[in-house]
Amino acid sequence: MTLSEDIRLPNGLVAEIWDGSRMIAADTATVILVVKVPVDVKPEYFEDPEACRKTARVFGSPLVYEYRNERTFVAAGEREALFGEFLANFKKDVLPYVSKDHFPKRFVLAKYQEMIKDPWKYPERG
pLDDT tens digits, 25-45 = 999 999 999 999 999 999 999
pLDDT at 9: 98
Task: Please check whether residue 81 lies inside any domain of the structure.
Answer: yes
116 pLDDT exceeds 70?
Answer: yes
Mean pLDDT of 96-114: 97
Above pLDDT 90, what percent of the chain?
Answer: 91
User: pTM to 2 decimals?
Assistant: 0.90
CA distances from 110 to 23, 40, 96 (A): 37, 13, 19
Task: Please check whether residue 66 lies inside any domain of the structure.
Answer: yes
- Cβ 108 vs Cβ 41: under 8 Å: yes
124 pLDDT exceeds 80?
Answer: no
Count of structural domains within the chain: 1
Residue 33's closest CA among 97, 94, 79, 87? Answer: 87
Residue 67 is part of which domain span?
2-121
Task: Please check whether residue 126 lies inside any domain of the structure.
Answer: no
